[in-house]
Amino acid sequence: MGFEKQILRAGTGPKPVKGQKVTVHCTGYGKDRDLSKKFWSTKDPGQQPFSFNIGLGSVIKGWDEGVMTMQVGEVARIQFIILHLSFVLAPDIRVFLLQCTPDYAYGASGFQAWGIQPNSVLAFEIEVLSAQ
């Protein structure tokens, strides 16, 4: 496994399996190499939850592999780079951080439309809404 993760809120449903349609809420951070700068969110006005078929390569590798380890209802913070594992603690909250190399995100190409530079470290907060 090329990543680590921390849970913000534990889920109660099943984990998705390869090929299922998964629907998530997601906020992405890392615009211009700054992890405090949001580049996209399904919770922004006019946006909606994002759906994809898991494990089939239709999204970045970190999403395919990371979301497959999450339960329906789980909320997670996912960061794409190999670093040390860190924890953010708050009352009654378990934190989820997924860390992996840029090849699990947008790699050497980046994603210029969203301000993601080549080989950028990215962080995502993801909530799995459903898996069918």
**Would you say residue 1 lies in a domain?**
no
- Look up residue 19 and give its amino acid: G
- Rounded CA separation 81/109 (Å): 16
**Would you say residue 38 lies in a domain?**
yes
Structural domain harbouring 97: 6-131
Q: What is the CA radius of gyration of the chain?
A: 14
pTM assigned to the model: 0.74
Lowest pLDDT segment from 14-18, 27-31, 83-87 = 83-87
pLDDT at 3: 65
What CATH number does residue 53 fall under?
Answer: 3.10.50.40
**Would you say residue 80 lies in a domain?**
yes
At residue 112, φ and ψ (nearest 5 deg) are -60, -35
Q: What total number of domains does the chain contain?
A: 1
